[in-house]
Amino acid sequence: MKLASMLSGRRRFILMFLFFNVAINYVDRVNLSVAAPALARQFHWDPAQIGWLFSAYLWTYTVFLMPWGWLGDRFGARKICAISIVIWSAGAILTGAASSIGSMISARLGLGAGEAATFPMCNKIVRQWFPAKERGFATAIIHSGVFVAVGLASPLAAWLVVRAGWRASFFIMGSLGFVWLFLWLRWFQPPEECRWLSAEERHQILEYRAPTLSAGEVEDPAIAPGFRSAAGSLLRHQSMWGLAITLGFVNYMNYVFLTWLPSYLVQARGLNLMKAGVYSGIPYLAGVTMEICFGRVSDFFLTPDRLKQGARRYHVALLTFLSSIVLLINVTHGALSTLAVISFALACNTTVIAIIYALTNDMIENPQLTGTAFGILLVGGNLIGMAAPVVTGYLVKSSGGFSSAFTVSGVLPLLAAGLAIGFTRRPIRA
């Protein structure tokens, strides 16, 4: 039986759910980055303090990644996604009510705790709902929510900060998650239980989603292994470590731009806040096409056997190498040339994150461990990435500029390319 197109089948609605989950997640992250110049003026915070504020949500985000991932394996993604979005939306709204750096950090800790469930659950649902040959494309579409959110939210948040104040910006943006929650609880179920899915499409999903399992084999959360057993078995694999550290080096650049790009454009390039918000959004919007197209290409050129062998690692290595073009930002002078370098580097950077997610799903043979595996992957990615806002803040404070910060961001992808080739060569049989 020929597999029907993902975009014509009803599983496209799952793509929409996950796309907007990721988009709302990043709307609530980027809001602080855009508001930072206004906060710094109002509260007289220096770059080092702003750096700590930027990184605060990553502390709890990193701590909760593995527990959320295991809870998704044990209790199902539907419940965990619902609980997590309530927590992070409340944290986003409470950021707007903060009156000191301590209360704002507390709100951001809540944001991070809730948002930690997003990518383990989204990738688990990709494994449940999409055949192996669609994972690159599906993951790229879902992850492009990052681009769309940052690209659209940056100028919108800047407009809200200028017109209504930074507090209103957090209140309005934070409320979006509750709209998503209502629709999610009404419509989402695993494919085995979904009432609005046709019998033919359900059969195709179950037959093609996991070539390493027998056709129609069903994942049962009730028999998921315990947390220590699941995590321990995964951490014995070199490929798991290679994927996690590679993602960490990639995430470093991602978090530098996600948190510091508006401030860089205001301080180093002399743009006003509104224009900085627009310029911050352009690189992410420019990356939407690249991510979706590369995700489709990544699926097209790989056979099922090559997918199981982890051949996507070559795509990861290529994109990480290309993203090191960010080193050129230190020798650009005009606004347009700077924007071009940032746009290309960020497009490669965020595209490779989606491909790393697809590669991880390719290499995990036991679907009962998908959530836990992505928790481990993202812990590694964020233990390194969470240093970026703070390190950048201190580099800017000590040097008075951003050159050294961009040098670090450009060197780490070169290391990531070598790791992707050398340390992700074996399937994860846990």
Calpha distance 143→147 (Å, rounded) = 8
Query: Given pLDDT bands bounded at 50, 70 and 90, which one contains residue 215?
Result: very low
Cα–Cα distances in angstroms (integers) from residue 53 to residues 48, 59, 323, in the given order: 9, 11, 26
- The verdict on residue 393 lying in a domain is yes
Per-residue CA distances from 22 to 118, 141, 152 (Å): 7, 10, 14
Contacts of 244 (CB under 8 A, 6+ apart): 376, 377, 378, 379, 380, 381
The mean predicted confidence, pLDDT, of the chain is 87
Residue 214 lies in a domain: no
For 134-153, write each residue's pLDDT tens digit. 889 999 999 999 878 877 77
Q: What does the alpha-carbon distance between residue 234 and residue 231 come to, in Å, rounded to a whole number? A: 5
What letter represents residue 344's amino acid? Answer: F
What would the two tokens of residue 42 be? 């109002």
Q: What is the pTM of this model?
A: 0.81
Q: Which residue has the higher pLDDT, 55 or 185?
A: 185
Q: What angle do CA 340, 283, 8 make, to 5 degrees?
A: 125
Q: Total domain count for the chain?
A: 1
Quickly tell me which residue has 């099922």 as its tokens. 304
Question: Residue 364 forms beta bridges with which residues?
Answer: 428
* 396 domain-assigned: yes
Give residue 224's pLDDT.
Answer: 66
| Residue 336 resides in a domain | yes
pLDDT of residue 213: 42
Name the nearest CA neighbour of 165 among 55, 25, 42, 30.
Answer: 42
Look up residue 298 and give its two tokens.
Answer: 């990544």
In this model, does residue 157 exceed pLDDT 80?
yes
Indicate whether 44 belongs to any domain.
yes
| pLDDT of 214 above 50 | no
- CA 120-126-128 angle, to 5 degrees, is 105
Enclosing domain of residue 71: 12-207+226-422
Select the more confidently predicted residue: 225 or 149: 149
Give the whole-angstrom CA distance, residue 232 versus residue 388: 28
Quote the Cα angle for 276-154-139, to 5°.
130
User: For residue 165, is it left (φ>0), alpha (ψ between -120 and 50) or beta?
Assistant: left
Token look-up 């985000």 returns 61
Residue 147: both structure tokens together: 């681009």
Instruction: Classify residue 430: in a domain, yes or no.
Output: no
Size of the chain in residues: 430
CA distance 406 to 174: 31
pLDDT value of residue 22: 95
- pLDDT of residue 154 exceeding 80: no
Q: What is the pLDDT of residue 216?
A: 44
Q: What is the per-residue pLDDT for 413?
A: 94
Identify the helix (H) or strand (E) that includes residue 192: none
Going by pLDDT thresholds of 50, 70 and 90, the confidence category of residue 264 is confident
On whether residue 323 sits in a domain, the answer given is yes
Closest alpha carbon to 177 in 24, 23, 18, 17: 24
**pLDDT at position 220:** 58
Query: What does the block give as tokens for 299?
Result: 């699926």
The pLDDT tens digits of the residues spanning 290-348 come to 888 898 888 888 887 788 778 899 999 999 999 999 999 888 878 788 889 999 998 89
Pick from 219, 21, 22: nearest CA to 128: 219
The reply to whether 50 falls in a domain is yes
CATH code assigned at 258? 1.20.1250.20
Per-residue model confidence (pLDDT) at position 223:
59
pLDDT at 328: 93
Q: Phi and psi for 60 in degrees, rounded to 5?
A: -75, -30
428: which strand partners? 364
Listed residue (127, 156, 141, 27) closest to 85, CA to CA: 27
pLDDT mean over 69-90: 95
Compare 163 and 22 and report the one with higher pLDDT: 22
Both tokens of 22, joined, read 């990721």
Residue 242 corresponds to which tokens in the numbers above? 């290679």
What per-residue confidence (pLDDT) applies to 37? 84
